[in-house]
Structure 1
Amino acid sequence: MSDQVTTQAFVLPRIGAFGRRLTLNLRGLRRIWRQPGLVLSVLVLALVITAALRPAVFTSHDPIAGRARDALQAPSAAHWFGTDATGRDLFARVVHGAIHSLGGALVAVAVGLVVGTGIGLLAGSIGGLLDQALMRLVDVLLAVPGLLLALSVIILLGFGTTNAAIAVGITSVAIFARVSRSEVIRVRRSDYVEAAFGSGARFGEVLVRHILPNSLNAVVALAALQFGTAILAISTLGFLGYGAPPPTPEWGLLIAEGRTYVATAWWLTTLPGLVVMAVVLSANRLSHAISKEVGR
């Protein structure tokens, strides 16, 4: 009898917790499927991620090599997005360019998340002169326009998709630091944190076990929101010529290469531009949904 009671005491709470988590997940899925715009955004991002990881699934054309006789062909069954001035298949270049834009956006968000969260964590948990010094540094970053700051960093690091992604990430450090600091200060003043300090726990232990995990919700939501912004910023830098060099099939560079032929070959700028717009809007729509779920 005692064994049965013991088993129920340990097993039933776990089953109940698992059931609650499963119920919350199913409710979240139902909320997603009830929003057609969100479903469409998920499908668009799934296709783009698949294109980035497995471009051969969508096209067999070479994104670099072209044939002069196929130059500036309009969209057709043979070339869905048409061809450029050197006869390269534009759809293949857009598909193969997904890895550059998405990968760059991930690097940019990672840089802003890690560096900004670290600054906010130190400033909010330690306080005092360190807090004031770090926040003045953040104020300086916020005072500089994002594009100007990104261009300055690229000039120091050099051109390329990775350097452009790092530059975009540095422009978002201040935002992450501000959000992280405010959350750390809120958690730092909580009763359970004060109780942990009162029980004799060391500062580093409280920081890692209590303050950091409980202050990440808003930061994760911000990271989701910054993903679409990073894609647009990296494409902008590529359009200006500060991203990947030709003939790399980067989205911003594709739009820039088609500027000369806007009057005669509209598809060179319009179709890559529509792809960028669709991906950015889908990322923003999904990130808003994620931020709502995190805030629940």
Structure 2
Amino acid sequence: MTALATTAGLDGRPGAPGSPGTDPASDRRLRRGALLARAGFLVPALVIAVALLWALFPGLFTGQSPTETVAPALQAPSAEHWFGTDATGRDLYARVVYGASQSIVGALVAVLVGLVVGTAIGLAAGSLGGAVDEVLMRVVDVLLAIPALLLSLSVVILLGFGTTSAAIAVGVTSIAVFARLARSRVVSVRVTDFVEAAYGSGGTFFGVLWRHILPNSLTPVIALAALQFGSAILQISTLGFLGYGAPPPTPEWGLLIAEGRNYVATAWWLTVLPGLIVVFVVLATNRLSQALRGGDAA
């Protein structure tokens, strides 16, 4: 009986004493890993949700005005003013909350511009091939050769200053990235068996393109859009910091950091707290992008 029990325990069947699936330490590690993976997704999702709510419903999170003086200037963070006050006595927390509508909505517009235009270019190049592919990809190469900040500054100067112009400019800089990825996915999907079967069943070029090629090419593009969302927030904040975004006194995250840079030694919260908000939101979007790519599917 002892020999039979030992043999049963070593054969790896579920429930056997020696089976890895019944090792308490291994089970605890698996459960701990699952909890960490869940927390690693929920925490950034919560950060993004709060930022979106700030952008859409700022009045629910603060009763202070973002443009009116409400207290003495340069007050440190306190229970009454969570982020302190700026150089003119405006509540910094209220300005950060209301500034989300400029930065977040601007980033969404930028990603939408890059996603739609870039995916259309990549879809046309990958599906048509030949001379069309060559011409479109050479245009994309030119866009990739220009530094993103220089290109966005050029577009802003052409369109004029403002959040909308900055968002479009940032979107233009991301067109090439979306186009390259979409084209590579379309090229790989269009030679698959189910696409050939769709053509063999009498499907038209545009019908197969819309029903089969495009849906099966979008997953990595959507993941890239999540990643580009964080990058767009950084770029729009950079343009705002340089003075090409929303004009004062309109609150915008990059502009808030720029307004506090002269007070770093005496009022650190003017730059540190808005900067931390930008960092947290960008890191959260990067984390969600990794999850969309399937790296943390467990």
Query: What TM-score results when the alignment is normalised by the length of structure 1?
Result: 0.86
Following superposition, the deviation at residue 199 of structure 1 comes to 3.0
Partner in structure 2 of residue 137 of structure 1: 139
Write the distance in 1 (CA, Å) between the matches of 2:36 and 2:146: 41
**RMSD between aligned residues:** 1.8
Corresponding residue for 2:180? 178
2:79 paired with 1:53: no
Paired-residue identity, %: 67
Which one of the candidate residues 21, 42, 56 is aligned to 2:45?
42
**1:130 to partner: Cα distance:** 0.6
Q: Name the CA distance, whole Å, in 2 between partners of 1:277 and 1:34.
A: 21
Deviation at 1:293, TM superposition (A): 7.0
Q: Which structure 2 segments of 5+ residues have no match?
A: 1-32
Distance 1:31 1:169, change over 3 A: farther
Counterpart position of 1:254: 256
Deviation at 1:193, TM superposition (A): 1.5
Q: CA deviation at 1:44?
A: 1.6
> What does 1:109-148 align with in structure 2 at a 5 Å threshold?
109-148=111-150
CA distance in 1: counterparts of 2:217 and 2:95, whole angstroms:
41
What SS does the aligned partner of 1:258 have? helix
Contact 1:55–1:96 (CA under 8 A) maintained in structure 2:
yes
2:284 match: 282
Alpha-carbon spacing, 1:208–1:240, altered in 2? closer, same or farther (3 Å): same
Task: Confirm or deny: 8 A CA contact 2:195 2:212 kept in the other structure.
Answer: yes
Per-residue deviation at 1:227? 1.0
Structure 2 counterpart of 1:259, which letter? R
- Normalised to the residue count of structure 2, the TM-score between the two structures is 0.85
What letter corresponds to residue 275 of structure 1 in structure 2?
I
Deviation at 1:57, TM superposition (A): 2.0
Select the structure of larger CA radius of gyration: 2
Check whether the contact 1:32–1:38 (CA below 8 A) recurs between aligned residues: no
Residue of structure 1 in register with 2:29 after alignment: none
Q: Which amino acid aligns with 2:150?
A: L
- Which secondary structure does the structure 1 equivalent of 2:122 belong to? helix
Q: 1:38 Cα deviation (Å)?
A: 2.7
User: Residue 294 of structure 1: CA displacement?
Assistant: 10
Aligned-residue offset at 1:155: 0.7
* Aligned twin of 2:223: 221
- Tell me, yes or no, if structure 1 residue 163 matches structure 2 residue 165: yes
Gaps of 5+ in 1: 1-29
Q: CA deviation at 1:33?
A: 6.5
Aligned length: 266
**Among 253, 263, 266, which residue is 2:265 paired with?**
263
Deviations 1:166-214 (A, max 9, x none): 1111111001000000111111111222222233322111111111111
Distance 1:289 1:130 in 2: 34
**Which secondary structure state, in structure 1, belongs to the residue aligned with residue 234 of structure 2?**
helix
Residue 208 of structure 1 is matched in structure 2 by 210
Is the Cα contact below 8 Å between 2:290 and 2:296 reproduced in 1? no
Q: Aligned partners of 1:49, 1:208: CA distance in 2, in Å? A: 31
Distance 1:36 1:228 in 2: 20
Letter in structure 2 aligned against 1:36: A
1:35 positional shift: 3.6
* Aligned equivalents of 1:124, 1:93: Cα separation in 2: 45
For residues 31 and 141 of structure 1, the distance between their equivalents in structure 2, rounded to whole angstroms, comes to 42
Cα separation, 2, equivalents of 1:195 and 1:40: 43
Shift of 1:41: 1.4
What CA distance in whole angstroms lies between the structure 2 residues aligned with 1:168 and 1:61?
Answer: 31
